[in-house]
Amino acid sequence: GNFKDQLIPALTAEFSGHSNLFRTNNYETHVHFKIAYPEDAPEIKLERFSPAAKGFTFKGKLLETGDLIFGNGGFNGSTQTKVENGQVLNRQNKISVEGIQTDLFIGQLANLRSAPGQQIKFAKASFGGLNIENGKVDFQIESNRSVLIEKGRFSWCDGKVEAPAIRLTSGAEDYNLILYCDRLNLAKVLEQFSAAQVEAEGELNGKIDLRYQNGILSFDDGFLYSTPGEPGKIRMVDTEILTAGVPKDTPQYTQMELARKALEDYDYSWAKLNFTTEGEDVLLKMQLDGKPANPLPFVYRKDIGSFARIEAGVEGSRFQGIRLDVNFRLPLNKLMQYKDLIRMIQQEKE
């Protein structure tokens, strides 16, 4: 037989089967089905299948085949689900996953258990202002209440990120995930977090600790550091943000003004970024050790015990070494737009 959904005209379903119900022993009914959705068909509003998915759409080629068996031994079956060039979007919250590819086999449908080593790939994904590429996730569906993420990896900021195994269990509200980062571009990391517009040489390694607890995502003392023995250069474009809100004619303003001028062209011997969370904000601390590439318009005044800015045309000071600590406070949900995605997952589990 065939089935057409008037709400989704491009979706087709075919089914066939046979039954030996008239046998007194070992009766069974076998059903084979095929569900298809072409790649060039209009996008599907996912809220038609679940109210929790409001705002999300799907587009891409979908093919699902399966065999169902009903009998005096109970119910069982298997399904094969293929997605090619899939795309999931939430335009309002700037969430997108594109180039989705998967070939999922569930061999024990009654227990909703797949074979290990299932894989889903995507070409790129965006969560607010954060963008990742070339993602691969190996997983196993263990039951209708448990999914084992065997490992994950993706490209970010011209480098590689890997995630170890983690088990997702229905009803659990506390997870810790460590992302191991290798050779991330310093300038692009700062740009991704909307911390600053910079031109920078150098790569970062380290780990980012993420925690999900009761619907809240946070950073737990993550750090990235420059490759040992590989110095670099950083030029910050929008340095005015460092002195914004600091009263002039105060020692704090002069200190920030000196740091601002130094960061316009700074040669570092090492760099480090620390990530923590306070409330709903990400606290990003950038530590640099090195020296300004050019003289700065400041001189040390013994009478006040600190540096003072000098007038234009007067030769400034050439610093042989300055360690800079620059702090940024960034709204996490604005960066990642993650709350609606988590809300959808929570409602789906209910």
Asked if residue 138 lies in contact with residue 150, where contact means CB atoms within 8 angstroms, the answer is yes
Query: What's the pLDDT tens digit per position in 26-44?
Result: 778 889 999 999 999 999 9
- What single letter denotes the amino acid at residue 268? Y
Q: pLDDT value at position 313?
A: 66
Q: What is the pLDDT of residues 148-204, one digit of tens each?
A: 999 999 999 999 999 999 999 988 889 999 999 999 999 999 888 876 778 888 999
Q: 19 pairs with which residues across the strands? A: 29
Name the residue with higher pLDDT: 301 or 265: 265
Q: What is the pLDDT of residue 335?
A: 60
pLDDT confidence of residue 155 = 98
Please state the domain extents for the chain.
1-156, 174-350
- Greater confidence (222 vs 299) lies with 222
What amino acid occupies position 108? Q
Q: What is the DSSP string of 253-307?
A: HHHHHHHHHHTTSEEEEEEEEEEEEETTEEEEEEEEEEEESS-BSEEEETTTTEE
Q: What is the pLDDT of residue 255?
A: 82
* Alpha-carbon dihedral 128, 132, 136, 141, rounded to 10 degrees: -20
Rounded CA-CA distance 143/154 in Å is 26
Go through 327-345 and write b for each residue having 16 or more CB atoms within 10 A of its CB, e for each that does not.
ebeeebbebbbbebbeebe
Q: Which residue has the higher pLDDT, 271 or 93?
A: 271
The predicted-structure confidence for 277-293, as pLDDT tens digits, reads as follows: 888 888 889 999 999 99
- In this structure, what token pair is assigned to residue 346? 């929570």
pLDDT at 314 over 70: no
Whole-number pLDDT of residue 333: 63
Q: At a CB cut-off of 8 Å and minimum separation 6, what does 301 contact?
A: 307, 308
Model pLDDT for residues 6-27, shown as the tens digit of each residue: 678 888 999 898 887 666 677 7
Q: Which of 107-121, 192-206, 236-250 has the largest mean confidence?
A: 107-121
Which pLDDT belongs to residue 336?
A: 59
Q: Is the pLDDT of residue 125 over 70?
A: yes
Sign (positive/negative) of CA torsion 181, 184, 186, 192? negative
- 3-state percent breakdown (helix, strand, coil) of the chain, nearest 5: 15, 55, 30
Contact, 131 vs 124, CB < 8 A? yes
Q: How far is CA 286 from the centre of its chain?
A: 21
